[in-house]
Structure 1
Amino acid sequence: MTEALVTILGGDILAGLAALVLYVNAATALAVLWVLGSRIPVRGLLGPQSAYALWFLPPAAAALALVFFLVLPPERRLTVPAPSEAVFAAWAAGAALMATAFAIGQARFAVQLRRGLTGPAVVGLISPRIVMPADDGHYTAEERALIRAHERQHIARKDTRAVALLALVRCLFWFNPFVHLAAGFLRLDQELACDAAVVMNRPRARSAYARALLKTQLAATPLPLGCYWPSRGRHPLEVRVAHLKRRETPREVGGGGRAGRTLTGPVDAIRP
Structure 2
Amino acid sequence: MAAEVLTHLAFCNLAAGLAILLALILRHPTRALFGAEIAYLLWLLPVAAGLAALLPARAAEPGVVAARHFIMSGDHAAILGGLWLVGVSLALALLVWSQSRFMQRARLGRAGPAVVGVLVPRMIVPDDYQTRFTIAERAVIRAHERAHIERLDPRINALMALIQCLGWFNPLIHLAVREARLDQELACDARVMGRLSRERGLYARTLLKTQLGARALPLGCHWPAAALHPLEERVIMLTRPQPTLHRTATGGALVMAMSLTAAVGAWSAQPVGPPRPVAAPVVWPEVVVYARMSLALEP
Q: What code does the residue aligned with 2:57 have? A: L
1:75 maps onto 2:63 in alignment: no
User: Partner residue of 1:45?
Assistant: 33
Q: Is the contact between residue 40 and residue 180 of structure 2 (CA under 8 Å) also seen in structure 1?
A: yes
Correspondences of 1:8-47 after superposition (within 5 Å): 13-47=1-35
What do residues 104-144 of structure 1 show as CA deviations (whole Å, max 9, x unaligned)?
A: 11011011100111111111111110112333421111111
Q: How far, CA to CA, are the matches of 1:107 and 1:238 in structure 2?
A: 29
SS in 2 for 1:97: helix
Q: What code does the residue aligned with 2:145 have? A: E
SS in 2 for 1:194: helix
Change (3 A) 1:233 1:71: farther
Give 5+ residue unaligned stretches, structure 2.
Answer: 251-299
User: Partner residue of 1:124?
Assistant: 117
Change (3 A) 1:39 1:217: same
Q: How far, CA to CA, are the matches of 1:108 and 1:15 in structure 2?
A: 37
Q: Is the contact between residue 119 and residue 219 of structure 1 (CA under 8 Å) also seen in structure 2?
A: no
The structure with the larger Rg is 2
Q: Which protein has greater RCO, CA pairs closer than 8 Å, 6+ apart?
A: 2
Give 5+ residue unaligned stretches, structure 1.
Answer: 1-12, 257-272
Change (3 A) 1:207 1:135: same
1:195 to 183, 189, 192: 189
Change (3 A) 1:155 1:236: same
User: Partner residue of 1:60?
Assistant: 48
Q: Is the contact between residue 6 and residue 81 of structure 2 (CA under 8 Å) also seen in structure 1?
A: no
Change (3 A) 1:136 1:186: same
Q: How far, CA to CA, are the matches of 2:149 and 2:19 in structure 1?
A: 26
Sequence identity, in percent?
44
User: Partner residue of 1:170?
Assistant: 164
What do residues 195-251 of structure 1 show as CA deviations (whole Å, max 9, x unaligned)?
A: 001111011000100011000013421111111112455532111001112244435
The Cα RMSD (Å) is: 2.1
TM normalised by structure 1 equals: 0.83
TM normalised by structure 2 equals: 0.76
The alignment of Structure 1 onto Structure 2 pairs a total of residues equal to 243
Change (3 A) 1:147 1:167: same
Q: How far, CA to CA, are the matches of 1:253 and 1:48 in structure 2?
A: 12
Q: How far, CA to CA, are the matches of 1:72 and 1:66 in structure 2?
A: 15
Q: What code does the residue aligned with 1:162 have? A: I
Change (3 A) 1:181 1:232: farther
SS in 1 for 2:115: strand
State the shift of 1:252 in Å: 8.6
